[in-house]
Chains A and B, each alone.
Chain A
Amino acid sequence: MSEFRMPSLGADMESGTLVEWNIRPGDRVERGQIVCVVETQKGAIDVEIWEGGTVERLVVEEGQQVPVGEVLAVIRAEGEKAEGEDAAPETAPAGRPTPTTSPTPAPRAPERAATPAATAAGERLRLSPAARKRAGELGVDPATVTGSGPGGTISLADIEKAAETAPEAPAEPRLARPAAGHDAHAAMRQAIAAAMARSKREIPHYYLGHTLSVEPALAWLAACNAERSVAERLIFPVLQLRAVAMALQEVPALNGWFVDGAFRPAEGVHLGVATALRGGGLVAPALHDADRLDPDAMMAALRDLLTRARKDRLRSSELTDAGLTVTNLGDLGVDSVQGVIYPPQVALVGFGRIAERPWVRDGQVVAARCLQVSLAADHRVTDGAIGARFLTRLTDLLTEPDRLWPP
């Protein structure tokens, strides 16, 4: 049996509300399938499952708010017997299935891989839905409660007793849980505030910048788009993202997460695309495998991602997989960006606007459309020399666009 748990969908997510199940007991599920919708501070998220099998049972009901790491459903792997049946010894699985065949076996939740809010490994909390609901109301973490019922079952009374004896202030200030009927915008603001405050508190940022002429890249794009219908056109960010992805392949030290005092490299190049939402707020979902997409596939993936980001239906993997985030504020008219790294990532690339500037070419000052690109990086993980190598490579690629998708 494997346990499908409430995923951590961001550095500061503490809990989520299960809004809707897409599966029922007895259903077969496949790796990557969207099995439920969870409401978070970043809106409603389609949550994927990473172990296939058959749904044994659903543990959490629709409408319940549960902490990160809490078991949502129990999944029976291929060949396993249902609960209550005797598993034949030869078919008993040796430990948990390990998803090593994934094309993107990046840790799904680098920040909360150990699910600190959950119980000891493999142990499951025993508590009734009523007790769980009361725990949510009282702000009690059931994992910290000792059950007095049979087999350590936590009763309603246990929860209420725990609430009375709970220390006034938790060791770490907790994010206030969104109250019923909470303002989604305020909740997102709070999530951003927590993540950015943590970034500035913990990450020693260093900043590097380049200015480049994008005349060659714009000519490349214009030639490409001249042959296309409006709907098939590429936009400049496709080139930017491609250049970042290729530069990251060469400088992987900027692609990953700083977790438990050490750098954990990402497997695969998944770029967070910082996306402002109308009405306020920001999400930075991952564009998966940005180093493997041809121009049209990249545009299609970007279109899909941005459309869903703005309609509030991102997937859980998109909130957890990015190894570096790219932000483009050029359309808002700014010249340059000094970005704040999204923890636990270790770098952020910022693009400003494309504007005509005096530019020296062959000893002559000419008017050229230019762009400023910046890198904010975590000095605990890399030094300026590595950042400079990355940024130089990125600049070279955008300056010589024929190298972006070599034949």
Chain B
Amino acid sequence: MAPLSRDTLRDTVTDAILAVAPEADLDALPPGRPWREQLEIDSFDFLNILVDLEKRLGVSVPESDYHELETLQGLLDYLERRLTG
């Protein structure tokens, strides 16, 4: 897969989150804060988002990496690294 621009990656992640939380306003998220709690994403929603991202990006996130996904920034960094790595 060709490397995605950061903007495209962000759009993809936004789509995956909006698929389970249509009312979410990602731009209003305080940066550096845990996004799941802010958006009331429970473990079931979170799993669904990861399944969706795997479909869209081909990146399978092992459970042992979940701690890197706590902030939206962290999630984007992680996916970017996996996509280019």
Contact = CB atoms under 8 A, between A and B. Distances in A.
A233 B54 CA distance: 13
Interface in B44-61: 44, 47, 50-51, 54, 60-61
A226 B43 contact: no
A237 B37 contact: no
Given A222-B63, A229-B60, A278-B23, A331 B41 contact: yes
B40 A332 contact: yes
Contacts of A231: 51, 54
Interface string B46-82: 0100110010000011111000000000000000000
A87 interface: no
Interface in A333-352: 333
Interface residues of B, number: 19
A236 B43 contact: yes
Contacts of A221: 63
B7 interface: no
Contact of A306 (B21, B44, B50, B62): B44
Given A230-B54, A230-B60, A331 B23 contact: no
Interface in B1-54: 21-23, 36-37, 40-44, 47, 50-51, 54
Tier of interface size on chain A: 20 to 34
A222 B64 contact: yes
A331 B40 contact: yes
Interface string A218-230: 0001100110011
Nearest to A225: B63
Contacts of B50: 230
Q: Which of A233, A303, A328 is packed against the most chain B CB atoms within 10 Å?
A: A233
Nearest to B44: A306
Question: Interface residues of A: mostly helix, strand, loop or mixed?
Answer: helix
B43 A237 contact: yes
B37 A332 contact: yes
Contacts of A303: 44
A93 B50 CA distance: 56
A276 interface: yes
B26 to A, nearest CB: 15
B75 to A, nearest CB: 14
Contact of B63 (A233, A328, A332, A333): A233
Interface of B: 21-23, 36-37, 40-44, 47, 50-51, 54, 60-64
Closest 9 CB pairs of A and B: A331-B42, A235-B43, A225-B63, A231-B51, A230-B50, A333-B37, A230-B54, A230-B51, A306-B44
24 contacts: A222-B64, A226-B63, A226-B64, A230-B50, A230-B60, A230-B61, A231-B54, A233-B47, A233-B63, A235-B43, A235-B44, A235-B47, A236-B43, A237-B43, A237-B44, A276-B40, A302-B44, A328-B42, A331-B36, A331-B40, A331-B41, A331-B43, A332-B37, A332-B40
